[in-house]
Amino acid sequence: MIGIVIVSHSRRLAEGVRELALQMVKDHVPIAIAAGIDDPANPLGTDAMQVYEAIASVYSDDGVLVLMDLGSALMSAEMALEFLPSEQQQHIHLCAAPLVEGAIAAVVAAASSSDIQRVITEAQGALVAKATQLGLDESHLSLVISEEPMINDKGHTSQIRLTVSNRFGLHARPAAQFVSCAARFQSQIQVRNITKGSEFVRADSINQVAMLGVRQGDEIVITATGSDAEEALAALQTLITTNFGEDNTPPHLPIAPSPHLPIAPSP
């Protein structure tokens, strides 16, 4: 299993990022943090030994992805690699992805049994979805990672057409569930948002699914090509029609009492 390490100057920040990321995958991906320093008066900072210990705690030959916030976090991560045996260093990858978005994209990809290069691609492309939703083109991004093409899988293509009815559409957790479900199958699975007129995107990419901007009431089409296409579509349909296990009841809003209006005296 691929491990994730979050390096930050602030322990509270790192713990918050880990908490958010684990909401996506329910503890299925090992995530360690190396954040802050042991100085009550000045707790902000990074420590190379902490980073080394965090890497060691989640290490496997499948790879470890290290995400950093800024400045000395990168320096501490680079120094930490020197404490590792040379045969392990080649499995550690320092990633330029944005900390929050990158961590979420990375853990979703790792939970879907992607290899380390796919996890890196998802993490480093994490800002593309936000830029798309804000109407920016890729020239506004300092780093754009192109998605590798999907491998053509011979076989009949099946499709389903569904309306997404859960209250917040494909927001973070449902999108992560959708991607993880799609990644379980061998078939090539794609999805598009008919309501917004989008093109088809990979259903196993959290970044591409997020770009669809699926909201409650949007209609989507899912296609699958391959030996387990029908099984894949059935699983995704169940996920969507059961609202991703979420309570679809609108939150109760208390009704404010009407202000007391004095009754005018009779003439």
Q: Which residue has the tokens 């209006």?
A: 261
Q: Which of 9, 140, 171, 252 is catalytic?
A: 9
Dist. CA 55–CA 259, nearest whole Å: 60
Two tokens, residue 166: 């859960």
Which contacts of 113-117 are long-range, i.e. CB under 8 A and separated by 24 or more positions? 113/183, 114/2, 114/183, 115/62, 115/63, 116/2, 116/62, 116/63, 116/65, 116/91
C-alpha distances in angstroms, 200 versus 36, 138, 174, 193, 221? 43, 18, 18, 8, 9
- Asked whether 51 and 93 are in contact (CB, 8 A), the reply is no
Catalytic residue check, 260? no
Positions marked active-site: 9
